[in-house]
Amino acid sequence: MRAPLPAARPAPRRRVRRWLHGPELPLADPGPTARTVRLPDGRLLGWDDLGDPDGVPVLWFHGFGSTRIIRHPDDGIARRLGVRLLAVDRPGIGLSSPRPGRALADFPGDLARMADAAGLGRFAILAWSGGGPYALACASALGERVLQVGLVSAAAPIAGPDTGPYATGFHHAARGAAGVAPWIVRLAMWRWARGQRRDPAAQLDDAIAGMVAADQAILADPRFRDVMIRNAAELYRQGGRGLYDEALVMARDWGFRFSSVRVPVRIWHGELDQAVPVAMGRHLAGTLPEAEATFLPGEAHHIFLDRWEEILGEVAERSRARLAAGAA
């Protein structure tokens, strides 16, 4: 969901500072699947470890404004597909400690240490929406350790040399603010988050009311609605710093070129996507060296929920084939 840049006067600094550094919603127990690893600088990186423990490893990257919780609620699907699914929280979000001032290029090193701690050698990455940039950064930096990247409704850059002609006025404003006035981005994220902190269900209803019918139909499922509401609290477990840093990362140059992504990339994108326009998906498909794409008429941004088994299954099968080819 897109957060508007603010036009009104700034909110009191004390309230914004409190939001940056501490949770304001009751926090649920992370549950028995939660794991963390302590990184060399003392931070924690967290994930949920699900599915078949002996299955092909697939790392799930959540979207912007979400956490590891935003995935299909039936974790048995991964188990039936023979997938070990590791849903990773990025720094400052959910179980993962903040890393103020982070850049996109900082994440692959964190992920490699998390994969080592989880006992993974090679693995696939499946990413939705704002998780796409992180998946591509990891593929660029970690090379053949990444078997396959799956991108669902994934964002393309709005800054840097790989940016396409899809950038809107909002994108230009966000890029400019991130470069010269990041306090504007911080204030925008604080304002966007207020509704989630006060009444997550009402905020979700307002968001759904503005979506296209295809997304409204998916989120009418009470299972998916529950996932979205639980995510609202988990997003601020570490405070609001993670959301603010995510926004800056999305609005700045990603720090690598698409030409450096030399692993297969499989793309799914709904033609009616309003949150991440399909032009972004087409740009990724036409620019990444080894991309294959499916564009879905009549579908929109939340297709990963509706097509979870199909998409996860295809990523797993392609990854098994690459592992077998490597062994041969």
Q: Is 88 exposed, middle or buried (0-12, 13-18, 19+ CB in 10 A)?
A: buried
Q: Is 209 exposed, middle or buried (0-12, 13-18, 19+ CB in 10 A)?
A: exposed
Residue pair 274/300 in contact (Cβ under 8 Å)? The answer is yes
Percent of the chain with pLDDT over 70: 91
Q: What is the pLDDT of residue 22?
A: 57
Q: Is 292 within 8 Å of 167 (Cβ atoms)?
A: no
All structural domains of the chain, each given as residue ranges with its CATH number in brackets, are 13-327 (3.40.50.1820)
pLDDT tens digit sequence for 257-294: 999 999 999 999 999 999 999 999 999 999 999 999 99
When pLDDT is averaged across residues 33-38 and rounded to a whole number, the result is 96
pLDDT recorded at residue 21: 54
The yes-or-no verdict on residue 19 having pLDDT over 60 is no
Is residue 24 scored above 80 in pLDDT? no
SS3 content of the chain, % helix, strand, coil (to 5): 45, 15, 40
- Identify the CA nearest to 54 among candidates 94, 83, 20: 83
Which residue reads 């990603």 in tokens? 254
Angle at which helix 222-234 crosses helix 200-209, to 10 degrees, equals 120
Compute φ and ψ for 303, nearest 5 degrees: -65, -20
Interior angle at CA 230, CA 226 and CA 234, nearest 5: 160
Given the structure tokens 């994440």, which residue do they identify? 107
The rounded distance, in Å, linking the Cα atoms of 153 and 61 is 12
How far CA 118 is from CA of 30, 53, 121, 137, in Å, comes to 18, 10, 9, 20
Could you give the CA distance from residue 314 to residue 49 in angstroms, rounded to a whole number?
20
Rounded Cα distance between 199 and 208, Å, is 14
Distance (Å, whole) CA 21 – CA 168 = 32
What is the C-alpha separation between 222 and 286, in angstroms, rounded? 37
The arithmetic mean of pLDDT across residues 60-82, rounded, is 97
Which pLDDT score, from 0 to 100, does residue 292 have? Answer: 98
Quote the pTM value: 0.91
Buried b / exposed e along 120-148 (16+ C-beta atoms within 10 A): bebbbbbbbbbbbbbbbbbbbbbeebbbb
pLDDT at position 27 is 60
Task: Tell how strand 83-88 and strand 56-61 pair up.
Answer: parallel
3-state secondary structure 120-154: CCCEEEEEEHHHHHHHHHHHHHHHHHEEEEEEECC
Provide the pLDDT confidence category of residue 1 given band limits of 50, 70 and 90.
Answer: very low
Contact status, residue 82 vs residue 52, Cβ threshold 8 Å = yes
User: Does the structure show a pLDDT above 80 at 308?
Assistant: yes
Angle between helices 169-180 and 182-198 (to 10 degrees): 110
pLDDT at 29: 78
